[in-house]
Amino acid sequence: MKITFIGFGEAGSALVTGWGAARPGAISAYDIKLEDPATAGEIRSRCAGLDVACVETLEEALEGADMVFCTVTADQAVSAATAAAPLLGQGTTWLDLNSCAPSSKQVSAKRIEDAGGRYVDVAVMAPVHPKLNMVPLLISGPHAAEVAPVLEAMPLKLRVVEGEVGAASSIKMVRSIMVKGLEALTAECTLAAHAAGVAEEVFPSLRDGSPGIDLYQRAPYNFERSMVHGIRRSHEMEEVAKMLTDLGLPNGMAAATVDWQRRIAEAGAPVPEGGEDGDYRDFAEVLLPRIRKG
């Protein structure tokens, strides 16, 4: 089996890392970053380290591919499917792992299916590290049940969700309202508490009232994730906001989450020593001056 990754960032490389030497077939990868001399070296190095064939064009990547993992960013998912569709062989399976609104997945599915491919909606339900290829996945669409045994044998950990394309992604997107929304609330509350000098009053009070809300522990982890992956997460939340609009619902919370994820990422602050296991004060100290300037 020839497997191709379109987009070879954290998600794609995590799956290949998890498979190790017992990989399910020959693997190649194409990433749009290869077109920019400033970022091409990063992709080539990642491919070389994982013994993955790094190809320079989309056409070369898709030639003879049996299964394609699309692991770009949410804002590029439809564009990737549109560009790839006319280059796919008949019956090629297109696995869309991107965090997109169901309506976006349905647009991509139509492009792939009209060209003779088989589109599968895939929702990644947890961070790919440390679980790698065994990160929980949900899959849906008309080909989901048929392709599930092939994916499980790779191996991947998945569950088939009954319904058309978008059924799996709906679960992921609705969940993100809460998960990413809590990250945004954590950022706003923590920075305000530190700036006002009242964190030692506020944090214990929140923990006493809601034992699951421990900002001493939660804030460093959330800040680290947003500083490193905030742009990608903001694109995901834009898709969440789109889904809410499609449902006829207001999307103010999702839109505010987009803003916070982007602000933290674009602040360009270095992750303090200790990372996600560090101290919230260190994160506040590096972020506050940059966010205030904005």
The pLDDT of residue 32 is 96
Residues 237 and 263 in one domain: yes
- Picking from 115, 139, 165, the residue at the C-terminal end of a domain is 165
- Picking from 141, 165, 189, the residue at the C-terminal end of a domain is 165
Residues 270 and 181 in one domain: yes
Residues 47 and 87 in one domain: yes
Residues 173 and 155 in one domain: no
Residues 26 and 160 in one domain: yes
d(CA 131, CA 14): 8
Q: Is 67 helix (H, G, I), strand (E, B) or coil?
A: strand
Residues 244 and 104 in one domain: no
CA neighbor of 107 nearest in space, from 138, 136, 76: 76
Amino acid letter, residue 24? P
d(CA 119, CA 50): 26
CATH at 219: 1.10.1040.10
| Whether the Cβ atoms of residue 91 and residue 116 lie closer than 8 Å to each other | yes
Residues 147 and 175 in one domain: no
- Picking from 165, 186, 218, the residue at the C-terminal end of a domain is 165
Residues 24 and 143 in one domain: yes
Q: What is the pTM of this model?
A: 0.94
Beta carbons within 10 angstroms of residue 109's beta carbon: 24
Domain of residue 27 covers 2-165
Beta carbons within 10 angstroms of residue 49's beta carbon: 11
d(CA 101, CA 139): 14
**Domains contained in the chain, number:** 2
Residues 143 and 65 in one domain: yes
Q: What angle do CA 231, 54, 146 make, to 5 degrees?
A: 80
Residues 15 and 158 in one domain: yes
The pLDDT of residue 142 is 98
Residues 188 and 231 in one domain: yes
Q: What is the DSSP string of 147-180?
A: HHHHHHTTT-EEEEPSSSTTHHHHHHHHHHHHHH
Angle between helices 215-246 and 102-114 (to 10 degrees): 60
pLDDT tens across the length of the chain (294 residues): 999 999 999 999 999 999 999 999 999 999 999 999 999 999 999 999 999 999 999 999 999 999 999 999 999 999 999 999 999 999 999 999 999 999 999 999 999 999 999 999 999 999 999 999 999 999 999 999 999 999 999 999 999 999 999 999 999 999 999 999 999 999 999 999 999 999 999 999 999 999 888 999 999 999 999 999 999 999 999 999 999 999 999 999 999 999 999 999 999 999 999 999 999 999 999 999 999 975
CATH at 139: 3.40.50.720
Q: What angle do CA 25, 29, 34 make, to 5 degrees?
A: 165
Residues 9 and 127 in one domain: yes
